Amino acid sequence: MHVIVVGGGIGGAAAAVALSRAGIEVTLLEQAKVLSEVGAGIQIGSNGTRALRALGLLDAFRAKAVSAHSYRILDFESGELINDLPLGAIASRHFGDDAFEAHRADLMDIIVSALPEGVVHLNQRCMHVSENDGVVTVTLESGDTLTADAVIGADGIHSNVRKGMFGDQPAIPSGMVAWRSTISADKIEHLGFEERFYGWRGPNRIAIAYWLRPGKLFNFVAIVPASDLEVGESWSHKGDKQLLERSLSGCAPQLGELIKAVDDNFLSALNYRKPLERWTVGRVTLMGDAAHAMLPYMAQGAVQSLEDAVVLGRCLQRAREGRVSIEDALLDYEHRRRPRTTRVQTNVLALRDFWFASDPLKRAGNMRRMQAQGKLDPYGDSQWSWVYTYDAEKEADAPLGYPVMMPFSRARNQVIPPRFHPRQLWESMFGFDDRIHSNDGLRAAYERRFASSIPSRRSELNGMPCLETGTTAADAPVVLHVHGGCYVMGSAQASLGHAAALAEAAGARVVVVDYRLAPEHPYPAALEDVIVAYRGLLDAGVANSRIIFSGESSGGSLALAALMSLRDSATPLPAGLIATSPFADMCLSGESLLTNGFGDEFVNKDFLTVAATSYYQLQDPRHSCISPVFGDFTDLPPLLVQVAQDEAVASDAIRIVKHAKDAGTNARLTCYPTSTHAFVLFSGDEPCAGEAIAEAGEFIRAAVGELRSADANRDAVLHH
């Protein structure tokens, strides 16, 4: 078997190594006159370390690279420590291998030195690829042609191979540009930089620094808005140091001193591409930036191309051995790799939205969330395990698992047991364009999914905006509903469908509170809003005996926290509470987060870590008003708690009912046979939803009726 690899960057050269190791004849075509790598610094996470081991390159690379102690995130202006994510030996314990920093040229030299003689052909620009009767022909700029059994397009973001397969589409400008410079160690000795990765996060800009060669050469990168200056994509465009200093004015002292040490610097625009729907046509496929060009915010561009190389080599080895056809081998490679790289691309763009938020409230909330995450998840397991525990060699040989696209789930790295293949109702809500816009995108998707034309009435309760639906009868039960969305999304408008179902089931007036969302408005904002709305009902003359609290997900937790707070302030309490899938433990200590981790590929520990820290930020997550599962359950009205038996937060519901019963509170738990979080919202898709809503209606009528009867009896006794 003969394979042509078009493009001699890190990915293409690594693919040539992998194919050669698999016993395949390889021709590597590179348009440049010298096989080299542009740029200076490269970061290799634990997943990249495993890929280098699979390629037989790790020992040589380790001798040249730096194993950083931590990823230290600092405030751009003050230099204050935001987070310090352990790397090095600690990363090895958590993610299975060390993480490294190195000079790109050093890695490139190591890869090239592993190639057999005669593989590399320089100054050979591919212009066109065609296939006929199982023979693939590459036409060069010179007019010469080469033939092979398969062709791999590894020719970068402006790939001619991809252009011939899928048409010419321009790369997408990110709106950001990168300053890049290397600094000799003697110029920064006084600044005390250790073997760490340093990142300064500021208003719409970041700066990054780390050692390329221990004690010899230091790397500096700053990413700023393109509006600061005009520059093209070239990595060799020299920048004006005065412009660099202006772009980073007002920075922390240590960073300012580092900038002074910069001599030569280069500028390049940062562009990317959206994920492709396919990579493979017949005997031609893509890899690296040709397949999945991404921005640098996860330091995964080169690493993903190394993973591609490993999987491609294994898949084509099976074809060489006659176990599968070449066409099937290339499709197998794509099916194993494309879901993974799509997730990485998506997460990278979501991080762009996170890091470069222009709204001061969002930016401040994001930074506080990161500080909280450093305490709740100090080793980054929830956020980064899905990236760094991936093993390309094992993935190449494992049965194809259930594809997961959401960046918050690590499930794609494993084969999911059949019991956990439910309707992925949350997962399917969010498209690529939603996910890349972080919270704003998730919120927009939530609103689309739960949009409703149900008639509603706008109202205010002590200034708190609400929407109402259901009856207007003066003596009807009043349900104060607190919508879900894990504290970071959702609205009264998006809750109207569920509110109307509750209103019909109970013959009630349902009032939905439009509370403030995190991270812009952390605790106690949402809780205060719920309490203000309840007091507004009381002030409007609604008897507490007619009121029921209701909520799903974060709404169930907020309603329970409001009950406890109202009780502690000696405020008359409502007649009862319905909490469906309550997300009530911000410490994420429930057993079901681990045992039911596959049940919902969106609402799992990875996502809930982000949601929880977005909400409580710098507060104590064990506070009962933040995590009511740890609260005092005495002297509360009756509780109905509904939960999906296989959902991630099932333990929260179970513990709430246990603690309530132990405290003498009337509490009932109903577990429904599904794994969908807040399943009552999906009445058209979840058979259990209708049953749960009917149960809630019965509870509302009974609780209001019993309390009103008790009040009437008490009044009669007093009157007598």
Each residue of 123-161: pLDDT tens digit?
999 999 999 999 999 999 999 999 999 999 999 999 999
3-state secondary structure 601-631: CCCCHHHHHHHHHHHHCCCCCCCCCCCHHHC
> What type of residue is 419?
R
Element containing residue 505 per DSSP (H, E): helix 496-506
pLDDT of the residue at 421? 43
Sheet containing strand 2-6, edge to edge, reads 120-121, 25-29, 2-6, 150-153, 284-286
257 is catalytic: no
Q: How many CB atoms lie within 10 A of CB 250?
A: 9
Give me the catalytic one of 491, 677, 686, 695: 677
Locus of tokens 């740890």: 630
> What type of residue is 656?
I
Question: What distance, in Å, lies between the first and last C-alpha atoms of the chain?
Answer: 101
* 597/605 Cα distance (integer angstroms): 7
Cβ 29 vs Cβ 137: under 8 Å:
no
pLDDT of the residue at 596? 83
User: Quick one: tokens of 707?
Assistant: 């309390």
User: Quick one: tokens of 93?
Assistant: 């314990």
β-strands 135-140, 126-132: how paired? antiparallel
Question: Any idea where the domains of the chain sit in the sequence?
Answer: 2-392, 442-715
Element containing residue 146 per DSSP (H, E): strand 145-148
* 404/381 Cα distance (integer angstroms): 18
Locus of tokens 């509006």: 227
Give the pLDDT confidence of 86-95 residue by residue, as tens digits.
Answer: 888 888 888 9
677 is catalytic: yes
pLDDT of the residue at 709? 57
The CATH H-level superfamily of 2-392 is FAD/NAD(P)-binding domain (3.50.50.60)
The CATH H-level superfamily of 442-715 is Alpha/Beta hydrolase fold, catalytic domain (3.40.50.1820)
Cβ 297 vs Cβ 455: under 8 Å:
no
* 671/669 Cα distance (integer angstroms): 7
Sequence-separated (6 or more) residues with CB below 8 Å from residue 533: 461, 462, 464, 466, 480, 511, 513
Locus of tokens 């080895």: 317
Cβ 249 vs Cβ 135: under 8 Å:
no
* 290/18 Cα distance (integer angstroms): 18
498 is catalytic: no
Residue ranges, the chain, pLDDT below 50: 234-235, 402-422, 714-720
pLDDT of the residue at 443? 97
User: Quick one: tokens of 251?
Assistant: 């920075």
pLDDT of the residue at 507? 97
With b for 16 or more beta-carbon neighbours within 10 A and e for fewer, the 630-665 pattern comes to bbebeebbbbbbbbbbbbbbbbbbbbbbebbeeeeb
Give me the catalytic one of 553, 557, 565, 592: 553
Give the pLDDT confidence of 154-188 residue by residue, as tens digits.
Answer: 999 999 999 999 999 999 999 999 999 999 999 99
Cβ 15 vs Cβ 293: under 8 Å:
no
pLDDT of the residue at 90? 82
> What type of residue is 249?
S
Among candidate residues 36, 79, 89, 68, the one with its CA nearest the CA of residue 211: 68
Sequence-separated (6 or more) residues with CB below 8 Å from residue 687: none
The dihedral of CA 115, 118, 121, 126: what is its sign?
negative
* 672/650 Cα distance (integer angstroms): 10
Beta strand extents in 7-118 (DSSP E only): 25-29, 41-44, 70-75, 81-86, 100-103
Element containing residue 373 per DSSP (H, E): helix 360-376
Phi/psi of residue 214, nearest 5 degrees: -50, 125
Q: How many CB atoms lie within 10 A of CB 710?
A: 12
Q: Is the peptide bond before 519 cis (omega within 30 degrees of 0)?
A: yes
User: Quick one: tokens of 593?
Assistant: 């987060």
DSSP 66: B
- Cα angle at 162 between 160 and 164, to 5 degrees? 70
Cβ 45 vs Cβ 171: under 8 Å:
no
pLDDT of the residue at 391? 97
Give me the catalytic one of 37, 327, 647, 686: 647
Cβ 71 vs Cβ 370: under 8 Å:
no
